Amino acid sequence: MEQISKLPEAEQEAYGARLLEELEADRKWDDLLASPKSQALLEKMADEAWAEYERGETAPLDDILNDKKD
């Protein structure tokens, strides 16, 4: 904030607006993820992912990312 306060007022306002947008987006995600319906969906997705892992249907993320580099 100290560095931003040294900028021209128009730039300070632009940074402030961007910060407020980010805070609002974070609040919306927090609200969405806190709902019981979202929690149930996340639990279902986690269970499905775990079952895929146990069946050997997953790959390490490093392997996937390295394949994309090639």
- pLDDT by position in tens, the chain (length 70): 899 999 999 999 999 999 999 999 999 999 988 888 898 999 999 999 999 999 999 999 998 888 766 6
Q: So what's the pLDDT on residue 33?
A: 87
Same-domain check for residues 2 and 24:
yes
CA 41, 46, 61, 29 dihedral sign is positive
Structural domain total, the chain = 2
Same-domain check for residues 29 and 41:
no
Same-domain check for residues 3 and 30:
yes
Q: Are 15 and 4 in contact (CB under 8 A)?
A: yes
CA nearest neighbour of 2 among 17, 56, 12: 12
Q: So what's the pLDDT on residue 55?
A: 97
CA nearest neighbour of 4 among 19, 22, 24: 19
Q: So what's the pLDDT on residue 22?
A: 97
Domain limits for position 59? 36-70
Degrees, nearest 5: CA angle 41-44-45: 85
Q: Is 66 left (phi over 0), alpha (psi -120 to 50) or beta?
A: alpha
Model-wide pTM > 0.95: no
